[in-house]
Amino acid sequence: MLNADQFTIINIVMITCVLITFFSVYVPKQRSRSYRVSAVLSLLICALFMAGIAYFKGIMAANHSMLAVWIPLTFLVFGTFAKYKDGRYVVTYFISLLSITSINGLGFIIVDSFFGWQPVAHVSVRCGLMLLVAWLMWYYVKKPLAKALASVSKGWSLMAVVSGLFYLLFVVFFAYPKPITERPKEYGFAVLLILTIYCAIVLVIYTILNLSQEIEKGLEEAQQQNEQRIDSMRLEQMELQYQNMMSTLEQTRIIRHDLSHHFRMIAEYCRSRQYEKIEEYLKELNFKNVVEEIKVYCRNDTANIILSYYAWLSETEGIHYICEADLPKRISCDEMDLSVLLGNALENAVEGCKKAKTERDLRIKLRYEKKKLILDVRNSFDGCLREKNGVLLSTKELAQHGFGMRSIQRVVDKYDGYLRYYVEDLTFVLQIVLMLN
């Protein structure tokens, strides 16, 4: 027979492994300092309670009553700080208990069948098996089950009932009508019961993970469809913007072409001293919305139009605009991809400058060398970088958060390129490299 100290060692290891297993498959509400202190104090109260039983009634009495007292107390303690209050908590609690207590019972049957009541074998084998199961749960079940707990919200009540009934069946079989230690003829059935319980645990975990994967797959598909819809909308917006730029620049060309005729009329009014008609004529012309003639920044028409448009837009917003571009007329980059890349990058830069509390500066360097398109955009901003899940967010309305950068990233990915952004003082720096053939 095992003495009181050996029983105590096995029970302490069992309770420790249950704790490890529980926290490996269940994420608490908060991992704050107050949570840790409260959890430790609560468990300490449980330990002191058991120590009191051991002091007044002996160590063996404490061992025999340990699970009966410790289980309801820890159930309440864990439940107080639980992140989930529904069946998810019950499932994880009983999975933890079943995983460790049933393997402890299996270890007892194995040792008793081969070694009898040899104390060293009981302590080493049973403790070793419990520690092994706790380690397996920690390394192989922790992350996927925690993910399932977060993503699956239905079906936990039924699983909680199933896991609770299995634990009740296990306890009743091993304790009634007398302890399993006094029924060696039923060891075979006990092993079968334990294996059945483990199969049930695996089935429950598999069902949970399968539900989680199905839900995650559905969410990914929905997200992809949403992103495709957004991409389509962004392309339509870019095409419309491109057409508006072309229309504005074309109007400018027409007006500037007609300027010689207008100057001739004004000169004629001056010669005939009809000064009042000069004022009326200038009002009729209305030069307010006329932009400057398109500047030649590079030989590529698409890039040149976009750079010219944002040069005009920057001037209207009071932004100091400097652009150095060296791009050949033809490059192996789709015209729409180049439009999306430059349009989104410069649109974000202008938006950033408008938020700046100091001088507004926008500097662009665009060049083509060694079959690479290299873009460097530096703009003033308010110093507040908005990110979520590694995605840079827009400063515009919430509905457009991050979509500009996503469109840029997709172009970069399409050409096996490189994207990097960082902050330098109050300047936002965006660097992009596209690999072209």
> Predicted confidence band at 430 (pLDDT cuts at 50, 70, 90)?
very high
Neighbouring-strand partners of residue 7: none
Position 242 in a domain: no
| Residue 372 vs residue 26, higher pLDDT | 372
425 token code pair: 């003082």
Residues sharing a CB contact under 8 Å with residue 276, sequence separation 6 or more, in sequence order = none
Q: Is the pLDDT of residue 5 over 90?
A: no
> Are residues 220 and 301 part of one domain?
no
Task: Note the pLDDT tens digit of each residue in 85-112.
Answer: 788 888 888 888 888 888 888 888 888 8
pLDDT at 138: 81
Q: Is the pLDDT of residue 54 over 80?
A: no
Q: β-strand 372-380 against 391-392: which pairing, if any?
A: unpaired
Q: 344 and 406 in contact (C-beta within 8 Å)?
A: no
> Are residues 303 and 205 part of one domain?
no
Position 106 in a domain: yes
pLDDT at 399: 39
Where is mean pLDDT largest: 11-15, 294-298, 318-322, 423-427? 318-322
> Are residues 24 and 155 part of one domain?
yes
pLDDT at 287: 53
Q: What is the CATH number of the domain that holds 420?
A: 3.30.565.10
Q: 125 and 107 in contact (C-beta within 8 Å)?
A: yes
Q: 387 and 393 in contact (C-beta within 8 Å)?
A: yes
Give how many domains the chain has, as a whole number. 2
Position 46 in a domain: yes
Query: Domain range for residue 414?
Result: 297-435
* Residue 149 DSSP class: H
> Are residues 352 and 213 part of one domain?
no
> Are residues 48 and 182 part of one domain?
yes
Q: Is the pLDDT of residue 284 over 80?
A: no
Domain boundary among 201, 224, 247: 224
| Residue 401 vs residue 201, higher pLDDT | 201
> Are residues 200 and 319 part of one domain?
no
pLDDT at 200: 75
Task: Note the pLDDT tens digit of each residue in 225-236.
Answer: 766 665 665 566
Domain boundary among 195, 224, 253: 224
Mean pLDDT of 44-54: 73
Position 197 in a domain: yes
Task: Note the pLDDT tens digit of each residue in 170-198.
Answer: 778 877 777 777 778 888 888 888 888 77
Position 74 in a domain: yes
Position 319 in a domain: yes
Where is mean pLDDT largest: 331-340, 367-376, 398-407? 367-376
Position 291 in a domain: no
Q: Is the pLDDT of residue 410 over 60?
A: yes
Domain boundary among 174, 194, 224: 224
SS3 216: helix
Q: Is the pLDDT of residue 322 over 90?
A: yes
Position 250 in a domain: no
pLDDT at 63: 62
> Does the CA dihedral 410-412-418-423 come out positive or negative?
negative
Mean pLDDT of the chain: 77
Burial class (CB in 10 A: 0-12, 13-18, 19+), 7: buried
pLDDT at 181: 74
Cα–Cα dist 199/210, whole Å: 16
> Are residues 410 and 318 part of one domain?
yes
pLDDT at 62: 64
> Predicted confidence band at 376 (pLDDT cuts at 50, 70, 90)?
very high
> Are residues 398 and 317 part of one domain?
yes
Where is mean pLDDT largest: 128-132, 229-233, 321-325? 321-325
> Are residues 71 and 187 part of one domain?
yes
Q: 204 and 163 in contact (C-beta within 8 Å)?
A: yes
Q: 314 and 350 in contact (C-beta within 8 Å)?
A: yes
Mean pLDDT of 351-362: 89
